[in-house]
Structure 1
Amino acid sequence: MNPSFSLAVVVDDDPDIALAARLALRDMFERIEALSSPADLIPLLKRESPDAILLDLNFQRSATDGREGLDFLGKIMDHDPDAAVVIITAHGAVSTAVEALKRGASDFVAKPWSNERLAATVRSAAALRRSKIDARVERSRASELAHGTETPLIGRSASIERVRRLIERAAPTDANVLILGENGTGKEIVAREIHRLSKRGALPMVAIDLGATNETIFESELFGHVKGAFTGAAGERIGRLKAADHSTLFLDEVGNLPLHLQPKLLTALEQRKVVPVGANRPVDIDVRVVAATNLSVEQLADEGRFRQDLLFRLNTIEIHLPPLRARREDIPLLLDHYLALFARKYDRPARAVPPAALEVLVRHDWPGNVRALRHAAERAVIMADGEHYRTEDFTLPSRPDASAVSAPEIATSLNLDQFEKQMIERALRMHHFNISLAANELGLSRGALYRRMEKHGL
Structure 2
Amino acid sequence: MILIIDDDAAVRSSLSLLLKRAGHEAEAVASPEAALDFVRHTVPDLMLMDMNFSLTTQGEEGLELLRKTRVFCPGIPVILITAWGSITLAVRGMQLGAFDFITKPWDNRQLLKSVETALDLGNRKTVTDIPKTRQELDAQYDFSAIIGKSGALINVLSTVARIASTNASVLITGESGTGKELVAEAIHRNSTRRNHRFVKVNLGGVSRSLFESEMFGHKKGAFTDAQADRVGRFELADKGTIFLDEIGELDLASQVKLLRVLQDQTFEVLGESRPKKVDIRVISATNANLTEMVKKRTFREDLFYRINLIQIYLPSLRERREDIPLLASFFAAQQSLQNRLPGITFTSDALELLEKLPFPGNIRELKNLIDRTILISGKSRIDAGDIRAQLIMPEGNNASKEIPGEMKLEELEAQTIRQAIEQYGGNLSKAARVLGISRAALYRRMEKHGI
Residues 225-275 of structure 1, C-alpha deviations (whole Å, 9 max, x = no match):
111111110121111011101100000111110122101000011121011
Structure 1: distance between partners of 2:194 and 2:245 = 18
Distance 1:169 1:435, change over 3 A: farther
Q: CA deviation at 1:154?
A: 1.1
CA pair 340-289 structure 1, distance change in 2 beyond 3 A? same
Which residue pairs with 1:157 in the alignment? 150
In structure 2, relative to structure 1, the CA distance for the partners of 1:342 and 1:244 (3 Å cut) is same
Task: Name the residue aligned to 2:382.
Answer: 389
One-letter amino acid of the structure 1 residue matched with residue 391 of structure 2: L
1:197 matched residue in structure 2: 190
Tell me if 1:329 matches 2:329.
no
Cα distance change on mapping 1:379 and 1:158 into 2, 3 Å: same
1:433 aligns with 2:437: yes
| Cα distance change, pair 317–387 in 1 and its aligned pair in 2 (3 A) | closer
1:310 is aligned with what amino acid?
L
Q: Which string of whole-angstrom CA distances, capped at 9 and with x for unpartnered residues, describes residues 29-56 of structure 1?
A: xxxxxxxxxxxxxxxxxxxxxxxxxxxx
> For 1:291, which of 281, 284, 292 is the aligned residue?
284
Q: Closer, same or farther in 2 for the Cα pair 1:403/1:335, shift >3 Å?
A: closer
2:226 alignment counterpart: 233
CA-to-partner distance for each residue in 1:37-95, whole Å, 9 max, x for gaps? xxxxxxxxxxxxxxxxxxxxxxxxxxxxxxxxxxxxxxxxxxxxxxxxxxxxxxxxxxx
Distance change (3 Å), C-alpha of 1:155 and 1:402: closer
Please give the secondary structure, in 2, of the residue aligned with 1:211.
helix
Partner of 1:424: 429
Partner of 1:155, secondary structure, is coil
**8 A contact 2:342–2:380 mirrored in 1:** no
Distance 1:391 1:424 in 2: 28
Q: Which residue of 2 aligns with 1:187?
A: 180
Separation in structure 2 between the aligned mates of residue 403 and residue 341 of structure 1, nearest angstrom: 26
Shift of 1:306: 0.9
**Structure 1 212/438 Cα, relative in aligned 2: closer, same or farther at 3 Å?**
farther
Look up the equivalent residue of 1:343 and give its one-letter code.
Answer: S
**1:112-131, aligned counterparts within 5 Å?**
none
Q: By how many angstroms is 1:406 displaced? A: 11
Larger Rg: 2
Given candidates 246, 271, 276, the residue that maps to 1:278 is: 271
Question: How much identity, in percent, do the aligned residues show?
Answer: 37
CA distance in 2, matches of 1:191, 1:387: 34
**How many angstroms apart in 2 are the aligned matches of 1:174 and 1:190?**
16
**2-side partners of 1:278 and 1:295: how far apart?**
34
Q: Provide TM-score, normalisation by structure 2.
A: 0.58
TM-score norm. by structure 1 comes to 0.57
Matches within 5 A, 1:32-431: 152-296=145-289, 298-386=291-379, 388-394=381-387, 395-398=390-393, 405=418, 409=422, 423-427=428-432
Q: CA deviation at 1:149?
A: 11
Give 1:396's aligned amino acid.
L
Structure 2: where are the runs of 5+ without partners?
Answer: 1-140, 394-411, 446-451
Distance 1:391 1:298, change over 3 A: farther
Structure 2 counterpart of 1:212, one-letter code: G
> Counterparts of 2:256 and 2:364 in 1: how far apart (Å)?
32
What is the aligned-residue RMSD (CA, Å)? 3.0
Alpha-carbon distance between aligned partners in 1 of 2:209 and 2:417, rounded to the nearest angstrom: 38
